[in-house]
């Protein structure tokens, strides 16, 4: 049947375009055709919810502040960065506009900016959200002109006769064409001249400073003229390679890290011919048959944010101490608003090393069950049993004190349609279980649904979606 999807496929759709699906939602969307389901996803994301924070003292001009106040300002800034981080995590977990937020998360990584200024970071995030399902060309232009990008890649210092190449290089290497894809060092140098004079004023509005602009002739990718920054961005967008690079990156993120060249070609044509409309590109992917094929399901390593939000959301976890959320992000190597560098998070297998893997495996138990993964074996003797209980008890006290997370188990358990073993495995785990996990799970008596769910979520398989 081509029009309706299996539960596994629906879960796949919801994991990739969001953070999984609840049991009750699964029940209600099951009756829809594939097209209806996808229409519904876009409809839900029609509107946008910009992040907003009260910046208070940060809005004042530093020049009007006393020395003491300026010192405090730094602390306020750090505090606001933390608030901003937690605010977005909360929105990711609670929003109905899941697809829009997921796209925002994708482009947050694509246009990676690492700053300590919460106003600029928030502004950039909202710019991305606004265009997340719209026109990539508009997004690129507005991002390039945002205070966040202008500061981060030093375009404010890029002036006539003393160019700074930082932005010109990264706009080609990371934002449009992709590394080593048809541009030269000479193109970078010429493009840098075109971006001279791009700046912003103290209100954070873009300004073009004529005095700093190089009005002489430049040649970028074979086009010669008195080029401006806008012209360069237009030239980059005229290259089909840009559509290919973005399509490929989106494919790797939403479909599979291993690309299928035929699919990429198909997507590149669609995206380029649709004048870089992101909704059309995403519809093309989600309406395809290949998106739902077996080899694309349960093969993606969840990013730390996907993992944290994915397990907080169905349990409506409340984190009493927001610093815990920050700690987890840091330990798992993905802190929102603080990508490691301009290339964003490398993703995929690089999320996984010895330390992060063990914490990731432990995460479900830590946030949902005070760190305890109860596991008893028929072969355990009395002493082993007692040792285990002692271990769990100690763990419980430690974790409760430190993590202070409150999950809503009651809601989760009552919403479950089925509580038998196979159904639970299918609902919680996207990939097929490994032999080791099957052997282990076979030994477990799922009479305690809660413990069984924690065990499933502690398997390496749960790291995949």
**In 3-state terms, what secondary structure has residue 304?**
helix
Contact between 431 and other proteins by CB under 8 A: the answer reads yes
- Closest distance to other proteins from the beta carbon of 253 (Å): 14
Question: CA-CA distance, 424 to 293, in Å (whole number)?
Answer: 22
- The residue from 51, 264, 274, 299 that contacts other proteins (CB under 8 A) is 299
89: Cβ–Cβ under 8 A, 6 or more apart, which residues?
Answer: 305, 308, 309, 325, 336
Question: CA-CA distance, 47 to 50, in Å (whole number)?
Answer: 10
Contact 32, 1 (CB under 8 A): no
Contact between 301 and other proteins by CB under 8 A: the answer reads yes
**Residue numbers 93-122 binding other proteins by CB under 8 A:** none
Between 259 and 357, whose beta carbon lies closer to other proteins?
A: 357
- Closest distance to other proteins from the beta carbon of 442 (Å): 10
Question: CA-CA distance, 13 to 225, in Å (whole number)?
Answer: 47
- The residue from 33, 387, 408, 448 that contacts other proteins (CB under 8 A) is 387
Contact 132, 278 (CB under 8 A): yes
- The residue from 33, 78, 219, 434 that contacts other proteins (CB under 8 A) is 434
Helix or strand run (H / E) with residue 218:
strand 218-220
Helix or strand run (H / E) with residue 287:
helix 278-287
- Closest distance to other proteins from the beta carbon of 236 (Å): 17
CA angle 182, 183, 184 (to 5 degrees): 130
- The residue from 105, 285, 399, 459 that contacts other proteins (CB under 8 A) is 459
**Token pair recorded at residue 15:** 């994991």
- The residue from 76, 86, 373, 413 that contacts other proteins (CB under 8 A) is 373
- Closest distance to other proteins from the beta carbon of 138 (Å): 27
Question: CA-CA distance, 229 to 412, in Å (whole number)?
Answer: 52
71: Cβ–Cβ under 8 A, 6 or more apart, which residues?
Answer: none
Between 157 and 406, whose beta carbon lies closer to other proteins?
A: 157
How many residues at the interface with other proteins, by CB under 8 A?
57
Helix-strand-coil split of the chain, %, nearest 5: 60, 5, 35
Between 173 and 293, whose beta carbon lies closer to other proteins?
A: 173
Contact between 350 and other proteins by CB under 8 A: the answer reads yes
Contact between 463 and other proteins by CB under 8 A: the answer reads yes
Find where tokens 């959320």 sit. Answer: 325
Between 66 and 354, whose beta carbon lies closer to other proteins?
A: 354
Contact between 464 and other proteins by CB under 8 A: the answer reads yes
Question: CA-CA distance, 410 to 139, in Å (whole number)?
Answer: 42
- The residue from 217, 219, 273, 384 that contacts other proteins (CB under 8 A) is 384
**Residue numbers 28-47 binding other proteins by CB under 8 A:** none
Question: CA-CA distance, 203 to 217, in Å (whole number)?
Answer: 32
Contact between 211 and other proteins by CB under 8 A: the answer reads no
Find where tokens 């798992």 sit. Answer: 332
3-state per-residue secondary structure call for 124-175: HHHHHHHHCCCEHHHHHHHHHCCHHHHHHCCHHHCECCECCCHHHHHHHHHH
Contact 172, 145 (CB under 8 A): no
Mask of contacts with other proteins, 309-338, x by CB under 8 A?
----------------------x-x-----
- Closest distance to other proteins from the beta carbon of 156 (Å): 8
Between 52 and 354, whose beta carbon lies closer to other proteins?
A: 354
* DSSP state letter for 405: E
Between 284 and 300, whose beta carbon lies closer to other proteins?
A: 300
Find where tokens 């785990």 sit. Answer: 429
Between 34 and 300, whose beta carbon lies closer to other proteins?
A: 300
- The residue from 109, 187, 306, 461 that contacts other proteins (CB under 8 A) is 461
**Token pair recorded at residue 335:** 């802190």
- Closest distance to other proteins from the beta carbon of 16 (Å): 15
- Closest distance to other proteins from the beta carbon of 301 (Å): 5
**Residue numbers 119-178 binding other proteins by CB under 8 A:** 154, 157-159, 161-166, 169, 173
Residues binding other proteins (CB under 8 A)? 154, 157-159, 161-166, 169, 173, 179-180, 185, 298-301, 331, 333, 341, 343, 348-350, 352-359, 361-362, 373, 375, 377, 384, 387-388, 391, 431, 434-437, 439-440, 455, 458-461, 463-464
């Amino acid at each position: 049947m081509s029009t309706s999807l299996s539960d596994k496929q629906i879960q796949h759709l919801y994991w990739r375009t969001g953070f999984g699906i609840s049991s009750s939602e699964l029940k209600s969307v099951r009756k829809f055709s594939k097209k209806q389901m996808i229409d519904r996803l876009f409809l839900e994301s029609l509107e946008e919810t910009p992040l907003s924070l009260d910046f208070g003292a940060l809005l004042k001009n530093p020049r009007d502040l006393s020395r003491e106040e300026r010192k405090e300002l730094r602390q306020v800034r750090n505090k606001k960065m933390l608030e901003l981080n937690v605010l977005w995590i909360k929105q990711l977990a609670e929003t109905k506009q899941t697809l829009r937020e997921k796209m925002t998360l994708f482009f947050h990584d694509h246009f990676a900016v690492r700053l300590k200024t919460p106003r600029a970071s928030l502004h950039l995030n909202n710019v991305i959200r606004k265009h997340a399902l719209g026109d990539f060309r508009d997004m690129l232009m507005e991002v390039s002109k945002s205070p966040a990008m202008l500061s981060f890649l030093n375009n404010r210092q890029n002036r006539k006769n003393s160019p700074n190449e930082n932005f010109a290089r990264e706009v080609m290497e990371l934002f449009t064409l992709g590394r080593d894809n048809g541009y030269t060092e000479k193109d970078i140098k010429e493009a840098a001249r075109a971006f001279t004079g791009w700046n912003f004023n103290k209100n954070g509005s873009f300004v073009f400073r004529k005095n700093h602009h190089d009005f002489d002739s430049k040649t970028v990718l074979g086009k010669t003229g008195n080029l401006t920054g806008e012209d360069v961005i237009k030239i980059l967008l005229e290259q089909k390679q840009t559509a290919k690079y973005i399509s490929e990156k989106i494919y790797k993120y939403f479909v599979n890290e291993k690309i299928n060249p035929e699919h990429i070609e198909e997507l590149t044509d669609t995206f380029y011919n649709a004048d870089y409309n992101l909704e059309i590109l995403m519809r093309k992917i989600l309406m395809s048959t290949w998106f739902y094929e077996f080899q694309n399901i349960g093969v993606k390593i969840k990013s730390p944010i996907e993992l944290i939000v994915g397990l907080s959301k169905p349990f409506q976890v409340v984190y009493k101490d927001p610093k815990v959320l920050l700690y987890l992000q840091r330990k798992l190597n993905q802190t929102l608003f603080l990508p490691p560098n301009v290339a964003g998070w490398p993703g995929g297998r690089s999320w996984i090393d010895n330390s992060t893997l063990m914490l990731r495996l432990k995460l479900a138990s830590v946030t949902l069950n005070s760190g305890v993964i109860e596991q008893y074996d028929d072969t355990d003797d009395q002493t082993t049993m007692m040792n285990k209980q002692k271990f769990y008890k100690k763990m419980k006290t430690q974790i409760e004190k430190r993590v202070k997370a409150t999950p809503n188990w009651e809601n989760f358990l009552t919403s479950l349609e089925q509580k038998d073993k196979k159904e639970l495995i299918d609902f919680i785990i996207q990939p097929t279980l490994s032999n080791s996990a099957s052997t282990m799970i076979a030994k477990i008596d799922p009479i305690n649904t809660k413990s069984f769910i924690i065990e499933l979520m502690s398997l390496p398989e749960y790291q995949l979606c």
